[in-house]
A and B are shown apart, each in its own frame.
Chain A
Amino acid sequence: MGEIILRVRSLSKNYPGVCALRGIDLDIERGTIHCIVGENGAGKSTFIKILTGAEKRSGGDIYFQGKEFKPRSIREAMNLGISTLFQELNIVDQLTVEENLILGREPHRYGIIRKPKYSERVFQLMNDFAPDIPLKKRAGLLSFAEKQVIEIVRAIAADASLLIMDEPTAALSESETRRLFTIIKSLKREGLTVIYISHILDDIFNIGDVVTVLRDGEAVDTNSVKEISRDELVRMMIGKVTTDKYVPRMVDYKEKVLEVINLSTNKLKRISFCLYKGEILGFYGLRGSGKTEIVLSLFGLDRPGEGSIFVQGRKTYFKLPRDAISQGIFIVPEERLTEGLILKLSIRFNISISNLDSIASFGVIDAKDEIDLTKEYMRIMSIKARNVEQQVATLSGGNQQKVVISKCLHAGANILLMDEPTRGIDIGAKEEIHRIIRKLAEQGNAVVIFSSEYSEVLSLCDRIYLLRNGEIVKELKNQEAEPEEMLRVITGGRWNSHEVKLE
């Protein structure tokens, strides 16, 4: 074994009510491409945030190049030699490629910028990796992949010896991915160490040397990529399956409430599915697989290029959210705080807003009706709050989500689209939300769950569609769903998608 560049010992991180990392031990060897994989919520992003100085650890030690490593900011981590390629790129669109490359360290005299020296390392690196990107071009005109190259070049020129990449291929096409891999391989030859975080197993087998599996905030195992099979890796990511509680429910598969045929946008490819009365349907896929796009199209936020939507057997077309609402569709958005709620306002105002007309005559709101209905929802959903006037900003995540669900019901919805319904909600409240969802279905509503957590889909949904790259690749009944198989299908990667389709 070669020199260890990064040594992590019993690293832990506690958030209020949640333990994100529970004592991680990890050694990263210099000059390797070290992959880290794990389900959503396994602790990958917390781990990166601590390494980059964006978050403070709760306990444990990190040694980088033999020295204690405790950065207080991303800038400090960079100065010490750890750079990160985030999913959100740090490129100023209005500036040229050249200006972006030397951003923040422009050569100047008395504040007046001078011509850069093209002999500088950053320009040489740029020339090595991507001679085809013109230096004078505006960064805003470049593709995502080209911008990514600029970021990588910038990081290496800043003398990074460890480069962290967070899902770098999520937004890339196949050929762009190949180019990125060529660059990563040549970086490795120069002795750079890469921590590569990804969901896409194919990427790992293509480029990784070593792979560490994180699960529930623990490092389960570290293996050489050559010595591990895809199936073994998936099994490790899932661990002991604890999906309980799915009780087969009696769904009468007769009354179709929603049918979608060949829905296509620039992200979605011929999405067809149907939803029955009283059913809980699941869409399971990675981030970026098209879940959110389906929600957008079904709620009048994105105009589908092709395809048709039938509600209760009637063909419909949604231009705006209120068109969808008038057909009985409502959403529980993924971004609860910025899209689901109005944080400054009270529980009462937040619930009633989705259908004020029902409690108003000639535009005048009946305050008593409003308070009564809010109290009723607080009782049904068991929303824990001082009173109806409490600001929703001061509620816990679980209670906030119950307010959003109440809002849907008050709007008179019978088709609920729930995008990541329990994201950022602690375990206890999660189960409570699940109970509420099951109850809603029993009362004859139809619910669609969009989730990237297999455990959520498995414990809730009667039927599951697996999504990958904007396509439905498989439909399963809950009883026949195997978590390992599901994860294998959605992480299938891009080179063998045709194989999966044949199954």
Chain B
Amino acid sequence: MKSSLNSTLLQKMVVVGILIFIIALSFLSRSFLTLTNFNNVTRQVSFVVITGCAVTALMISGNFDLSIGSVLALTGTISAILVTYSVPLWLSIILATLVGSGIGLLNGFMVVKLNIPSIIATLGTMYAARGLALVITGGNTIHLGLGENFTLLGRGYLGMIPITFFIMVIAVLLFYFIESKTTLGRYAYAIGGNRRSAFLSGINVGSIVVLLYLLVGSLAGFSGVLMASRLGVGQPMVGVGFEFDVIVAVILGGTSIEGGEGSVFGMVVGAFIVGFIANGLNLLGVHSFYQSIVKGLVLVGAVLLDRKIKEMIVE
């Protein structure tokens, strides 16, 4: 959905940037433009994109969630622990995902009912969920007794394409549908665009925001299960900084930090540009320390460029 001319413009810019980058890299490194490498990047990016789908909707409504990285770790370890207690794999996936939903609900409750600013409320659950993951694992990595099937979702293939790719596509299409065709998506834009006006129009602002937090928690929870499956272990310290990877993808995708505009497709492009930069620099043999610097520069540079272009349009 084109919520405004300007955000689509940033997306176009990002797409052009990504194409130039891919073409340049394919000349510089032979292994860049191969299916194996593409699958690699996809698997890395898929966690960001799957969670990012719900986070985009939440940020369009003008709210934040910093707890997703910790939720990822908590639900990943829970799914692993449940499997070691001989809970069937499918049930452990569902239960772990529901724990994520529960934390989402708690975030929503704190923001809406207790009126705590979203950054503070979710910073609280960020610490608490990480702590909980450490408590239930005793700080250890869970790797014994997980069985073969545990890694199916995260490492498996359907034909030549990783399963995570399909899950990612389904999540993106679902949230594109929500964003552009449903009342929930519309209310998210309205609340982020002008909360007061939305409230005066009779919108139940509170329940919409809670629902969005619930979706974010659920998808972060499911991503945690996927992550554990990919790693083949339940690790309480995974996903540190994951929340910022997601927020960077959402912002690069043209979602306004104040809310009211943005799109899921933009977020996908944003996530892939970050993924390809990291991957490309890797292939070129640039140390990961430098990659972090580049990521920072790209984020600030893109937002700055976006504003300059908006100013030019206004003039």
Q: Please list the residues of chain A having a beta carbon within 8 angstroms of any beta carbon in chain B.
A: 299, 321-322, 325-326, 331, 333, 338-345, 349, 352-357, 360, 363-365, 367, 391, 407, 411
Q: In the bound complex, how far is the Cα of B200 from the Cα of A363, in angstroms?
A: 20
Q: Is the CB of B202 within 8 A of A411?
A: yes
Which residue of chain A lies nearest to B191 when distances are taken between CB atoms in the complex? A342
For B190, list chain A residues within 8 Å (CB). 342, 345, 349, 353
Scoring B residues 163 to 198 as 1 if CB is less than 8 Å from chain A, else 0, what string do you get?
000000000000000000111101101100110111
Known: A340-B197, A345-B260, A357-B183. A322 touches B204 (CB 8 A): yes
For A364, list chain B residues within 8 Å (CB). 181-183
Which residue of chain B lies nearest to A301 when distances are taken between CB atoms in the complex? B200
Known: A364-B182, A391-B4. A343 touches B201 (CB 8 A): no
Q: Is the CB of B182 within 8 A of A344?
A: no
Q: Is B306 an interface residue, CB under 8 A from the partner?
A: no
Q: Is the CB of A338 within 8 A of B196?
A: yes
Known: A364-B181, A365-B183. A339 touches B193 (CB 8 A): no
Q: Is the CB of A353 within 8 A of B186?
A: yes
Q: Is the CB of B186 within 8 A of A344?
A: no
Tally chain B residues at the interface, Cβ within 8 Å: 23
Determine how close the nearest CB of chain B comes to the CB of A2; give it in whole angstroms: 51
Q: Is B3 an interface residue, CB under 8 A from the partner?
A: yes
Cβ contact of A356, chosen from B4, B186, B194, B200, cutoff 8 A: B186
Cβ contact of B201, chosen from A354, A363, A365, cutoff 8 A: A354
Known: A338-B194, A339-B197, A365-B181. A321 touches B186 (CB 8 A): no
Q: Is B298 an interface residue, CB under 8 A from the partner?
A: no
Q: Is the CB of A325 within 8 A of B202?
A: yes
Q: Is B21 an interface residue, CB under 8 A from the partner?
A: no
Q: In the bound complex, how far is the Cα of B198 from the Cα of A341, in angstroms?
A: 8
Which residue of chain B lies nearest to A331 when distances are taken between CB atoms in the complex? B200
Known: A342-B197, A364-B181, A364-B182. 7 other contacts (CB 8 A): A333-B200, A338-B194, A344-B4, A345-B260, A349-B186, A353-B201, A363-B184
Q: Is B199 an interface residue, CB under 8 A from the partner?
A: yes
For A365, list chain B residues within 8 Å (CB). 181-183, 186
Q: In the bound complex, how far is the Cα of B196 from the Cα of A355, in angstroms?
A: 16
For B186, list chain A residues within 8 Å (CB). 349, 352-353, 356, 365
Q: Which 9 A-B pairs have the closest CB atoms?
A: A322-B202, A342-B193, A325-B202, A342-B194, A356-B183, A344-B260, A344-B193, A354-B201, A363-B182
Q: Is the CB of A321 within 8 A of B182?
A: no
For A355, list chain B residues within 8 Å (CB). 202
For A411, list chain B residues within 8 Å (CB). 201-202
Known: A338-B194, A353-B186, A353-B190. A367 touches B181 (CB 8 A): yes
Q: In the bound complex, how far is the Cα of B119 from the Cα of A57, in angstroms?
A: 45
CB-defined A-B contacts under 8 Å, sample of 28: A321-B200, A321-B201, A322-B204, A325-B202, A326-B202, A331-B200, A333-B200, A340-B197, A342-B193, A342-B194, A342-B198, A343-B193, A343-B194, A344-B3, A344-B193, A345-B193, A345-B260, A349-B186, A353-B186, A354-B201, A355-B202, A356-B183, A356-B187, A360-B183, A363-B182, A364-B182, A365-B182, A411-B201
Determine how close the nearest CB of chain A comes to the CB of B195; give it in whole angstroms: 9
For A326, list chain B residues within 8 Å (CB). 202
For A339, list chain B residues within 8 Å (CB). 196-197, 200
Q: In the bound complex, how far is the Cα of B147 from the Cα of A36, in angstroms?
A: 87
Q: Is B203 an interface residue, CB under 8 A from the partner?
A: yes
Q: In the bound complex, how far is the Cα of B3 from the Cα of A244, in angstroms?
A: 44
Q: Is B245 an interface residue, CB under 8 A from the partner?
A: no
For A343, list chain B residues within 8 Å (CB). 193-194
Known: A353-B190, A363-B182. A345 touches B202 (CB 8 A): no
Q: In the bound complex, how far is the Cα of B168 from the Cα of A26, in angstroms?
A: 72
For B189, list chain A residues within 8 Å (CB). 342, 345, 349
Which residue of chain A lies nearest to B195 when distances are taken between CB atoms in the complex? A342
For B65, list chain A residues within 8 Å (CB). none
Q: Is B243 an interface residue, CB under 8 A from the partner?
A: no
Q: Is the CB of A341 within 8 A of B4?
A: no
Scoring B residues 195 to 236 as 1 if CB is less than 8 Å from chain A, else 0, what string do you get?
011111111100000000000000000000000000000000
Query: Which one of B4, B202, B204 has the highest number of Cβ atoms from chain A below 10 Å of its Cβ?
Result: B202
Determine how close the nearest CB of chain A comes to the CB of B211; give it in whole angstroms: 11
For A360, list chain B residues within 8 Å (CB). 182-183
Q: Is the CB of A344 within 8 A of B183?
A: no
